[in-house]
Structure 1
Amino acid sequence: MLLAAVSLMLAGCFLSPGKFTSELALTGGDRFTFTYDGEIFFLGLSKLAQMGAAAEETFTPESCLSDEAFEPRECTSEELAAQREAWEEGAAERAAERKKQAEQMAALMGGINPEDPKAADELTKLLLRHKGWEQVEHLGDGLFRVRYRISGTLAHDFMFPVIEGFPATNPFVQTFVRKNGQVRINAPGFAVQGPDSMMGGMMGGMGALAGMGAMSGASGSDGEAMAAGMPKLEGTFTIRTTGTMPIRANNTDDGPTATTTGQVLTWPVSSRTSQIPTALIDLGS
């Protein structure tokens, strides 16, 4: 299970939204304001990523099979002793592998060791050090409550979140500025089921992490307990324009809504969301 968690982090799937509201306001010319208010889940700081290491420190005998029908049977004391001896002999190798995996996760988290009891505090300080992060609170088990707000110009591409020392491979929202004065806005972090979503192509979305219970042989209450460690994806993503900014394309259900100052696009987001919210907007002159 720890290996599965590390593999997800190496693939760039190490953080995800929980409950949130987010808005990108295009305020005229190439000006914008982006906000994200809600939860962010860091896989590397969760119990899910640490369960494998804890399990490896407990000897669990394997089933023995009968010679005739190859059906499970009770192991003899000699067989149990042989299994324990083999498990103890592999202790050094398991410790080395855990150290390697911890180093891999630390490299993906700006040098923060996820096994350090103060790791959450270090990450909180790291985020608050940077512009835009107005509030960061660790709720426990890798889940943070944050408030982020930043304003700027679309003279270049933009992505959220960007964290110092973290790979820039896990975006919730991206903007791509084109030479013709248009901006493409994608929100890959706000979809979990579709093949084009941030994680859908690899594991069917963040919700599939709960399936690691089955991968490790856990079932019933064990699998449910592991699934309980994952945040519920639930929120709203809004794009708000000011003035006359033609919306060239979007994949909302109802299209843009006119306001007294411009237009609004709104996407409700949940664990059933199958399409990445996307829009193409002409910024105008």
Structure 2
Amino acid sequence: MTMLSTIRLRAAALLAGFALVLTGCFMSPGKFTSELVLTGPDSFIFSYEGEIFFLGLSKLAQMEAAGEAFAPSCFDEETYESRDCTPEEEAEQRAEWEAGAAERAASAKKQAEQMAALMGGIDPFDPKAADELVKLLSRQKGWERVVHKGDGVFDVSYRVTGTMGHDFTFPMIEGFPPTNPFVQVFLRKGGQVRINAPGFAAQNSETGVLGTMLGAGSFATMAAMGMASEAQDGDQAAEAIPGIPALDGTFTMRTTGAMRVLANNTDEGPAAETTGEALTWRISPRTAQPPTALIATGG
């Protein structure tokens, strides 16, 4: 794969990522440690320590919404390799670009309004947007620490104790659409609990990386696309797309008492502990399947 192809692939990833913002998939884990403990047939403790990336508050999304500066682009008709444009070609392209200025401005305004609607009314272009999000999360139960590290990346500590009288999803943010879950707990009849973690995966073995991007995958998928493209070029130290934190974490699910693990997709299966069993998933940009497990609680 040529350098030009790599650049185009990365550009496509960025554009697809911004499209995901406007469809609700706008949050992704970065470096994290998360744990779900089923403390009884009808109780649990959930924690998440680490980074959460909000694409709408990043420079990446704001640059895309504002529109790119004019840059002429020409290629050889036989080899399809990039080449310098002639003065005539550049002038023609510039005229077309300037003719679309009004349309781009209208589109940017619409995108900004859509992002604000998705973020509980927070205007992502407001310099105080990150502070507003910190305040919003801090007043919700469970968010014990919320610190903006810059460029849409927040360092958080979340911990909640709850009962198993209803399903559970993390994160749930006031005013935000519930379209980007990291972890889900579903109660089934007969004393069973289904645990899914769709946000803790970047790839999908059936549809590939692009399929995950168009579905429920996280923005770590975009980093995975950049890594894949560079790996094909022989670069062993492939880098993620700048501005998007790499998916790097551990998710652990623990049972207590007589609970039984009926099904799971870990590499090693349940490990015995003094109080029950533990399932552990190590998550990276190459994680192919979201963690999932089925537990018999005995309740």
- Tell me the TM-score normalized by structure 2: 0.81
Distance 1:75 1:253 in 2: 57
Which residue is 1:61 aligned to?
A: 72
Residue 32 of structure 2 corresponds to 20
**Percent sequence identity over aligned pairs:** 64
How far residue 62 of structure 1 moved from its aligned partner, in angstroms, is: 4.3
Counterpart amino acid of residue 198 in structure 2: P
Change (3 A) 1:236 1:65: closer
253 and 54 in structure 1: CA distance in 2 versus 1, 3 angstrom threshold: same
In structure 1, what is the Cα distance between the partners aligned to 2:124 and 2:113?
Answer: 9
User: What is the match of residue 59 of structure 2?
Assistant: 47
The equivalent position to 1:75 in structure 2, one of 72, 86, 89, is 86
Deviation at 1:268, TM superposition (A): 1.2
For the Cα contact (< 8 Å) 1:183–1:280, is it kept in 2? Answer: yes
SS in structure 2 of the partner of residue 20 of structure 1: strand
Matched, 1:270 2:284: yes
* 1:217 aligned partner: none
Instruction: Spell out, residue by residue over 1:197-227, the C-alpha distance to the aligned partner (whole angstroms, 9 max, x if none).
Output: 9x76333763442458xxxxxxxxxxx9981
Matches within 5 A, 1:121-140: 121-140=131-150
What amino acid is the match of 1:21? T
Separation (CA, whole Å) in 2 of partners of 1:24 and 1:73 = 56
Find the structure with the greater CA-based Rg.
1
* Cα offset, 1:84, TM superposition: 3.6
Distance 1:147 1:30 in 2: 24
Query: Alignment partner of 2:114: what SS?
Result: helix
Q: Which amino acid aligns with 2:219?
A: M
Q: Who is 1:29 aligned against?
A: 41
5+ residue gaps, structure 2, are 1-10, 227-237
Paired residue for 1:99?
Answer: 109
Q: What's 2:18 paired with?
A: 6
TM-superposed deviation, 1:82:
4.8
What secondary structure is seen at the aligned counterpart in 1 of 2:290? coil
Change (3 A) 1:91 1:155: same
TM-score (normalizing by structure 1): 0.84
Question: Does structure 2 retain, via aligned residues, the 8 Å contact 1:40–1:145?
Answer: yes
Alignment partner of 2:298: what SS?
A: coil
CA 1:155–1:74 in structure 2 vs 1: closer, same or farther (change >3 Å)?
closer
Cα distance change, pair 253–116 in 1 and its aligned pair in 2 (3 A): same
Alignment partners' CA distance in 1, 2:198 and 2:182: 6
Count matched residues: 272
Structure 1, unpaired ranges of 5+: 213-223
Q: What per-residue deviation string (whole Å, max 9, x for no partner) do you get for residues 176-215 of structure 1? A: 1011111000111111112579x76333763442458xxx
Question: Which of the residues 119, 124, 143 maps onto 1:114?
Answer: 124
CA distance in 2, matches of 1:150, 1:118: 28
Counterparts of 2:18 and 2:35, CA distance in 1: 31
